[in-house]
Chain A
Amino acid sequence: MSRPQATARPQNYARLVWLRFARSRLGLAGLGCLVLLLIIVLFGRFLAPHDPDTRFAPFQPPSHWTSAGFVNPIDSGKVDPVTLQPILTTAGAQPVRLGLFVRGHLVAPRDPDGELHLLGTDRFGRDIFSRGLVAARISLGLATIVVTLTTTTGLLLGAIAGYRGGAIDRWLSRLIDFVLAFPQLPLYLALGALIPITLGSGMFLILLIGIMAMLGWAGLAREIRGKTMVLARMDYVRAAIALGATDWRVVYRHIAPNLVSHVLVSFTLTLPAIVLLESFLGFLGLAVKPPLISWGLMLQDAGSFAAIGSYPWILSPVGFVFITVFAFNAVGDALRDAIDPY
């Protein structure tokens, strides 16, 4: 026992975490999805086959994949006897000729009048797939900003409450209770209604972010407070104080690094929750305003039962939300297992 592992090379922390993370297949799949999402956020307009605001015929069904390529169904001239909707067919329709790097898009119909609607079109005839790709930037950007705000606030207030204790802790804890006790959904709707309708879309977005951040930090703050209290009583903190370390040094050198793992996991698990919240508030009518596009806004159209019944593809933005939530949850879970390799 005189020199265990004397020859082994010291392993740094990030490497250990990565080795353990790589053991989770679901986590790797989630990481793959995250990379895909990042690419979509950065290059959404380029990847989309159409401009998100170009109008085609409304409520077109998705293009079909046949042996000849993508085909847009055409009106067969007949009418469904029950719903009185025109019956569409692919028979006789011309396949869409696709080309690479056409008019600033990666893949698009070569013909300037050609149409490719992988997920159909919405009520204004806009291509849902293209809009979904472009909306990723707003939806994920909004979620990232909100989570960054809530995480910073939660970490700061939680750490202060946990480390200082006493009266500060009592007051901050009551504030946390107060925020957690709000009935959140009615509050969101009420605050949404308070925002003047004439407000520009950018200002509206900022207010929406503000509301979400204000209501979202308390849970993390409470967790951080508890963890800080535990860490502040560790022997190594006592040893640091005995060495003469200041409060500030104790916090950033001894407490914060041991909170990082928790915060990182909380970040990855809260982000999909905000994406979900945004889409679901959109469904209820509290979404970003056009001309901005978000998944929540796209789902606003799916609010009517009749529309979903006739044109089920307008629900497809849910798919984007689903991929996001899966990716972040998978990564967050794997990260949580990997983060404490000691």
Chain B
Amino acid sequence: MSRFLTQLRTELQLTLRNGEQLLLTLGIPVMLLVFFSLVDVLPTGTDDPVDFLAPGILALAVMSTSMVALGIATGFERSYHVLKRLGVTPLGRPRLVAAKIGAVAVVELVQFAVLVPVAFALGWSPSPANWALAVCAVVLGTTAFAGIGLTLAGRLRGEINLAAQNGLYLVLLLLGGMVIPFAKLPSGIRAVAHGLPSGALADVLRETLGGAGSQPTTSWIVLAVWAVVMPVVAAAVFRWD
């Protein structure tokens, strides 16, 4: 087995063994999707709440995995000198990073394999649906969120990073148009929310999977900028030890 696959397998094993990460990446998105689709308390502005919620929850799933789960795990690995130790094996840093990206991709595939059928079962019927563009949006979103997660993980101590990632997760969840429509946010906050990567990804997914984006062109640009800038920032500021 190649070293990349060896490392990928270990990354996935550790993810599976980490109950908190599974709750974050799969449990919370599924619960939010099911609960708020069945209990119509959110001001979604759609006939069926799942039509608004499903793209937002897919964006939330991407953020959970590529920013919070990746960032928290990497932060602790840095604190425990795991990155340093692996960096002086034949694996090397490039393959270590590649294995982490691979693990994020596998987890996102599993998330989508669970969330999309659940959404369909709840009555979601995206039309028109451009799945290829949605995948592009997910790739951009993953890149942007991973950049944010690794920037924090590469600079902050393990425990502070944990708190920062969770805090940011909540802010981006609430202001990012994932479960609460932009139109319901105060006007000052709304402008900021549109500039957030969570808001941009949710809006783009809502456009590609149902044609209901609020300002899709702007959101594509915002998402692309985050996807270019944040990995560069992460690479520049990341400390391996």
A binds B: no
Interface residues of chain A, those whose CB is within 8 Å of chain B, are none
Interface residues of chain B, those whose CB is within 8 Å of chain A, are none
